[in-house]
Structure formats: C-alpha cells, structure tokens
C-alpha cells in the first residue's frame, strides 16, 4: 500500500470510529445556546484557528448563532499577546466579551491544552474562565483531548489511528464535524447556496 492509499485508509478508519453520541450531545448544547440567545466562541490555534474562522461563518450564516473567534481580529490578538502575554490572550478577550452562562465555547485543538506541558495554555485559561461563569464547553480535539476533554460538557476526540498523523487528521476532522453540525437538521436554519440552486 502506498502512502496515499494508507492515509485514505486511516481516514476511513477514523470515520468508522467517530463518537456519534458525543456529536449529538454537541448538537443538543448548541441548540440550547441558540434557544437561550447565547453566543458561540470558537477557539483554535494554528490550523485550528483557520478552522475556527470558517466555523464562525457557518454558525452565523447557516445556524443563526451569534458566533466569534478571537483569532479573527489580528490587531486585538497581537496587542493582547504583546501587552498581556500569550497564555491569557483568549481569557482576556472573553472577559472583554462578557462571557456568561448563556454562552458556549467550541474548542478546535489537536492537544486540547495542557498547563504542565505548556501546550496551548491559552485554551486552558479560557476554559477555566468558562467554568467560572457557567458557560458550556464543547470540543473537537485529538489524542486524549487534554484539558478540553477533561472539562467539556461534550467533546469529540478524533481517534488516533496513526500516531504520526494526529495533527493532519484532527484538523481535517474538525472541519468535517463542524460541517456535520451546521448541516444537522436540529441546527440548520438557512439553505446553503449550491443546494438551493436548481
């Protein structure tokens, strides 16, 4: 089997192992967030930040939830990083957005955050704030899910089927899960363009 065949086989294996119940729990929480008039904040770093930006568009346009990603405002992100430090950048941004109990945080991350290993401490501090104010936490993460999986109300851990491909598979499946969510009949309120073209 060549690399391409092997990589595709890994993708199929992940698809077959996805935790459908966890995805449905996320659907429940997002439906409740919208019902309460809460907001959705999508957090991610690196490739996950790009996925967060894409998800903001879809959750706003297709699902009708007021949605934001702190990484979409590079001026504020870099000012906060410069002035306050990287670890607190999401926490302080969320405080400035008056995060509250009606809101939900969606984390896209390969590792999910780990203070002891100093990996994505910005996610950990943001989630600690979410717990303090009673906001819901959902995530799509890789490996063991790190801090996100420990504290989330619902979390999809992308199965590790090949240890050297955790990052590409996790980031790819973040997009698959987010598209599943915005297409889910309990969440979707607006037709997507190409499906509406006759």
pLDDT tens sequence across 81-93: 999 999 999 999 9
The secondary element (H helix, E strand) that includes residue 84 is: helix 74-84
| In a domain? residue 198 | no
Distance CA 80, CA 77 (A): 5
| In a domain? residue 197 | no
pLDDT for 193? 80
Helix, strand, coil percent content, the chain, rounded in steps of 5: 60, 10, 30
Who wins on pLDDT, 1 or 129?
A: 129
Output the DSSP codes for 125-167.
Answer: HHHHHHHHHT-EEEEEE-TT-HHHHHH-SEEEEPP-SSGGGHH
pLDDT tens sequence across 61-106: 999 999 999 999 999 999 999 999 999 999 999 999 999 999 999 9
Contacts for 34 with CB less than 8 Å, ≥ 6 apart: 63, 64, 65, 187
The token pair at 2 is: 């060549």
Q: How confident is the model at residue 159 (pLDDT cuts 50, 70, 90)?
A: very high
Look at residues 125, 77, 85 and name the one whose alpha carbon lies nearest to residue 105. 125
Distance CA 143, CA 118 (A): 16
Burial class (CB in 10 A: 0-12, 13-18, 19+), 37: exposed
| In a domain? residue 196 | no
pLDDT tens sequence across 26-57: 999 999 999 999 999 999 999 999 999 999 99
Distance CA 29, CA 152 (A): 11
| In a domain? residue 194 | no
CB of 165 closer than 8 Å to CB of 173: no
Q: Is the pTM of this model over 0.85?
A: yes
DSSP 3-state of 31: helix
Q: What CATH number is attached to the domain comprising 18?
A: 3.40.50.10490
Q: How confident is the model at residue 185 (pLDDT cuts 50, 70, 90)?
A: very high
pLDDT for 54? 98
Q: How confident is the model at residue 197 (pLDDT cuts 50, 70, 90)?
A: confident
Number of structural domains found in the chain: 1
Locate tokens 């065949």: which residue? 5
**Residue 88's domain spans which residues?**
3-189
| In a domain? residue 195 | no
């Amino acid at each position: 089997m060549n690399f391409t065949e092997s990589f595709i086989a890994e993708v199929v294996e992940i698809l077959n192992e996805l935790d459908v119940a966890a995805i449905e729990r996320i659907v429940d929480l997002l439906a409740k967030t919208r019902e309460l008039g809460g907001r959705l904040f999508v957090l991610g770093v690196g490739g996950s930040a790009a996925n967060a930006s894409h998800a903001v568009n879809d959750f706003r346009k297709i699902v009708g939830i007021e949605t934001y990603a702190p990484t979409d405002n590079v001026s504020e992100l870099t000012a906060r990083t410069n002035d306050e430090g990287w670890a607190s950048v999401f926490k302080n941004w969320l405080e400035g957005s008056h995060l509250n109990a009606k809101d939900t945080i969606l984390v896209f991350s390969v590792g999910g955050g780990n203070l002891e290993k100093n990996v994505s401490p910005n996610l950990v501090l943001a989630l600690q704030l979410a717990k303090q104010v009673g906001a819901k936490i959902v995530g799509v993460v890789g490996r063991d899910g790190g801090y996100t999986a420990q504290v989330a109300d619902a979390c999809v851990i992308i199965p590790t089927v090949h240890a050297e491909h955790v990052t590409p598979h996790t980031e790819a499946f973040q997009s698959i899960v987010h598209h599943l969510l915005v297409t889910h009949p309990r969440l979707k309120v607006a037709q997507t363009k190409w499906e509406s073209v006759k």
